[in-house]
């Protein structure tokens, strides 16, 4: 399976993340799964005219390829010219290249939330960059390719959202496609592969005991649950970050900071400070997905009243001050 990769209005972080693939190195992993890059801006030897020749052949249909991976928002400005990103050496807007290549590709992958929904590039008030995703403007279907776009393989754009994406999300989606194909039923309503978006970041969160008892962190570096005060959206964000983990054993929560829901459209403009939880009458506005508000309020009150001293005391410090007690054996 041949993969062509281009970058535009983004930070390149999804490629940097991809290169962290483990346990096997990325290139070995992909090669043995029958996947190769036609061209990748960070990896390929071809530069300048050699690279343009590859891209032109792909765009004209002379050189068949399977998957078009785009990393970064589509910058349509200023005034619809696309000249906020003219592809080096070609003098043509990257948006032109993407439009031409997308109709030749059997599948189109949006790598990262910028590419999927617009991301930070689209978040300046008034959107002067005229940034958008491949097939979404934030939550609204559309984007560069339009809501009706279907690639040669019959799918809309596959949105491997995340800021950055997890290397496993990209590699597993490519490998699933290579092994058994992708169906519309493999994607959620925002085009994200269910192989990672069917979970919530909350699942597997190491702070679960604090969450259960609503023992909340009050300031950065506290061990408690980050939902009530510090802006965590793990109970609403679709991703398997705490099951799959990042860079070995990590995740945002494991790093001690809030999930900002970077796999969700519009995460970049939450309407409140990222590290603070907006509340109404003392209750967080963003409640856990699928949980009726009245239940949440009732359960929160109950669990707060039942919080063990260990959990309560450890929640507001950066290392445990009370350890789980050890039961002594009976009769000795």
Partner 1 sequence: MTRIVLGPFNRVEGDLEVSLDVVDGQVAAAWVNSPLFRGFEQILIGRPPLDALAIVPRICGICSVAQSAASAAALADAMGLTPTANGLLARHLIQATENLADHLSHFYLFFMPDFARPAYAGHPWYEAAAARFAAVSGAATAEILPARAAFLKLMGFLAGRWPHTLALQPGGSTRAMTAGERVRLLALLREFRSFLERSLFGDTLANVAALDSRDALAAWAEGRTADFPRFLQFAGSLGLGRMGRAGDAFLSYGAYDCFAPGRWQDGVVSELNPAAISEDSVSAWLRNGPPRHPASGETLVDADKPDAYTWCKAPRYEGQVYEVGALARQVVAGHPLLRDLVVQAGGSVTARVVARVLELALVAPRMEGWVRALQPGEPFCAHGSLPDEAVGVGLTEAARGSLGHWLSIRRGRIDRYQIIAPTTWNFSPRDSDGQPGPLEAALVGLPAGEGAPPAVQHVVRSFDPCMVCTVH
Q: Which of residues 27-56 bind partner 1 (CB under 8 A)?
A: 27-28, 37, 41-48, 51-52
CB of 247 to partner 1, least distance (A): 4
CB 109 within 8 A of CB 72: no
A 10 A CB-CB count for 265 gives: 23
| Distances from the Cα of 135 to the Cα of 57, 160, 261, angstroms | 24, 12, 20
Applying CB under 8 A, the span of 101-109, 150-158, 245-253, 282-290 interacting with partner 1 comes to 245-253
Place of tokens 């604090």: 210
CB of 8 to partner 1, least distance (A): 7
Applying CB under 8 A, the span of 12-20, 180-188, 300-308, 322-330 interacting with partner 1 comes to 12-20
Q: Are strands 136-137 and 107-111 parallel, antiparallel or unpaired?
A: unpaired
- Residue among 319 and 332 whose Cβ is closer to partner 1: 319
CB of 327 to partner 1, least distance (A): 22
Helix, strand or coil, per DSSP, at residue 2:
strand
Q: Does the protein bind partner 1 through residue 14 (CB under 8 A)?
A: yes
CB 297 within 8 A of CB 290: no
- Residue among 89 and 152 whose Cβ is closer to partner 1: 89
- Residue among 12 and 141 whose Cβ is closer to partner 1: 12
- Residue among 149 and 202 whose Cβ is closer to partner 1: 202
The DSSP code for 39 is E
Applying CB under 8 A, the span of 175-183, 191-199, 243-251, 306-314 interacting with partner 1 comes to 243-251
CB of 61 to partner 1, least distance (A): 21
Place of tokens 């398997």: 240
CB of 305 to partner 1, least distance (A): 28
- Candidates 54, 32, 40; CA nearest to 3 is 40
Helix, strand or coil, per DSSP, at residue 71:
strand
- Residue among 57 and 300 whose Cβ is closer to partner 1: 57
Of residues 145 through 204, those in contact with partner 1 by CB under 8 A are: 163-164
CB of 318 to partner 1, least distance (A): 4
Dihedral sign of CA atoms 7, 8, 12, 15 in order? negative
Applying CB under 8 A, the span of 138-146, 169-177, 195-203, 254-262 interacting with partner 1 comes to 254-262
> For partner 1, which residue of 3, 4, 15, 168 counts as binding (CB under 8 A)?
15
3-state secondary structure 32-60: HCCCEEEECCCCCCCCHHHHHHHHHHHHH
> For partner 1, which residue of 16, 147, 150, 302 counts as binding (CB under 8 A)?
16
Of residues 255 through 284, those in contact with partner 1 by CB under 8 A are: 255-258, 260, 262, 268, 273-276
- For 6, the enclosing helix (H) or strand (E) is strand 2-7
- Residue among 130 and 186 whose Cβ is closer to partner 1: 130
> For partner 1, which residue of 271, 294, 309, 319 counts as binding (CB under 8 A)?
319
- Write the DSSP assignment of 156-213 as a string of letters: --EEE--SS--HHHHHHHHHHHHHH---GGGB-TTS-BHHHHTSBTTTT-TTHHHHHT
Of residues 76 through 105, those in contact with partner 1 by CB under 8 A are: 78, 81, 83-90
Provide the mask over 214-233, with x wherever binding to partner 1 is found by CB under 8 A and - wherever it is not.
-----xxx------------
Separation CA 165–CA 239 (nearest Å): 10
| Distances from the Cα of 272 to the Cα of 113, 135, 260, angstroms | 19, 26, 11
CB of 213 to partner 1, least distance (A): 21
- Residue among 13 and 141 whose Cβ is closer to partner 1: 13
């Amino acid at each position: 399976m041949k993969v062509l990769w281009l970058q535009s209005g983004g930070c390149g972080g999804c490629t940097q993340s991809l290169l962290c693939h483990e346990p096997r190195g990325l290139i070995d992993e992909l090669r043995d799964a029958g996947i190769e890059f036609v061209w990748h801006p960070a990896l390929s030897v071809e530069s300048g005219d050699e690279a343009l020749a590859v891209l032109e052949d792909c765009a004209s249909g002379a050189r068949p390829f399977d998957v078009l991976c785009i990393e970064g928002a589509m910058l349509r400005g200023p005034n619809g010219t696309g000249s906020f990103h003219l592809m080096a050496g070609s003098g043509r807007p990257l948006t032109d290249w993407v439009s031409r290549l997308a109709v030749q590709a059997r599948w189109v992958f949006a790598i990262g939330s910028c590419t999927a929904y617009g991301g930070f590039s689209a978040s300046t008030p008034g959107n002067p960059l005229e940034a958008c995703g491949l097939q979404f403007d934030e939550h609204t279907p559309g984007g560069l390719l339009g809501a009706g776009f279907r690639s040669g393989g019959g799918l809309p754009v596959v949105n491997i959202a995340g800021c950055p994406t997890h290397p496993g999300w990209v590699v597993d989606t490519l490998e699933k496609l290579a092994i058994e194909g992708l169906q519309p039923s493999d994607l959620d309503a925002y085009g994200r592969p269910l192989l990672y978006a069917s979970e919530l970041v909350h699942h597997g969160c190491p702070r679960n005991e604090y969450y259960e008892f609503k023992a909340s962190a009050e300031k950065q570096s506290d061990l408690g649950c980050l939902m009530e005060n510090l802006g965590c959206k793990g109970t609403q964000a679709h991703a398997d970050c705490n099951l799959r983990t990042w860079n070995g054993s990590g995740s945002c929560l494991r790093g001690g900071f809030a999930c900002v829901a970077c796999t969700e459209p519009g995460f970049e403009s939450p309407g409140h400070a990222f590290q603070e939880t907006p509340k109404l009458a003392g209750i967080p506005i963003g409640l856990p997905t699928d949980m009726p508000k009245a239940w949440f309020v009732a359960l929160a009150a109950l669990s707060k009243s039942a919080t063990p001293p260990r959990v309560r005391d450890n929640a507001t410090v950066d290392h445990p001050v009370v350890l789980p007690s050890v039961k002594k054996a009976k009769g000795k």
